[in-house]
Amino acid sequence: MIRTNVAGTLTSADICKDHGLFMMDFATGCIFEYEAAHPQNTLGKTWLAGLSAALELLKGYDNVCTLRLRMSISSDLNTPQNFIAKISRYSKVVNIPNSTSVLDELLPTSIGMAKRNLKGTWKFTNPVAMSHNEIVEMYMNFINPNL
């Protein structure tokens, strides 16, 4: 996890910088910023500590654009990482609105951002939050009523 999420990400940023290249990093939006008075507890959570460290260190690069995705959805429902495919297999889902990243809509935007050389960290989600229940309900209405 550390090798990929920290060393791999930072090595990629370094190589791109050395060659004068722009780097776009697609990262998780599940990690949020915390204030010094209430620090994030990463003890025992290697993946969280690694991702948090990488995201913080990438802020020091002037050639990197980090896009923070949340609950990624694509039109390919056969992909096991697709958020809809995941929650359609759950026996229960939470009814709390959350941000989602509909990749079919957002990936073309990322190309435009790269062409414009936009840098920094961006919350890369669709504007309307949806609950897991709403997503499952739409899935049942449009794709599989027998879920």
Instruction: Give the pLDDT confidence score for residue 32 in this predicted structure.
Output: 56
Residue 78 has φ and ψ, to the nearest 5°, of: -85, -10
Residue 56: CB atoms within 10 A of its CB come to 12
Give the side-chain half-sphere CA count within 13 A for 70.
Answer: 19
Instruction: Give the pLDDT confidence score for residue 35 in this predicted structure.
Output: 52
The answer as to whether 112 is a domain residue is yes
Instruction: Give the pLDDT confidence score for residue 4 in this predicted structure.
Output: 75
Instruction: Give the pLDDT confidence score for residue 50 in this predicted structure.
Output: 77
Residue with tokens 């791999």: 8
Instruction: Give the pLDDT confidence score for residue 38 in this predicted structure.
Output: 52
The answer as to whether 77 is a domain residue is yes
Instruction: Give the pLDDT confidence score for residue 36 in this predicted structure.
Output: 54
Q: What letter would DSSP give residue 7?
A: I
The answer as to whether 58 is a domain residue is yes
Q: Which parts of the chain have pLDDT scores under 70?
A: 1, 31-47
The answer as to whether 122 is a domain residue is yes
pLDDT digits (tens, 9 = 90+) for 107-140: 999 999 999 999 999 999 999 899 999 999 999 9
CA distances to 81, 101, 124, 132 from 106, in Å: 17, 7, 8, 20
Instruction: Tell me the residue range of the domain where 68 lies.
Output: 2-142
Instruction: Give the pLDDT confidence score for residue 81 in this predicted structure.
Output: 85
- The identity of residue 146, as a single letter, is N
Q: Which among 18, 121, 5 is positioned nearest to 53, based on CA atoms? A: 5
Q: Residue 123: which H helix or E strand, with range?
A: strand 120-123
Whichever domain contains 13, its CATH number is: 3.40.50.720
Q: What letter would DSSP give residue 91?
A: S
Residue with tokens 């990482």: 81
The answer as to whether 24 is a domain residue is yes
- The identity of residue 28, as a single letter, is T
Q: What is the pTM of this model?
A: 0.80
The answer as to whether 147 is a domain residue is no
Instruction: Give the pLDDT confidence score for residue 89 in this predicted structure.
Output: 87
How many folded domains does the chain comprise? 1
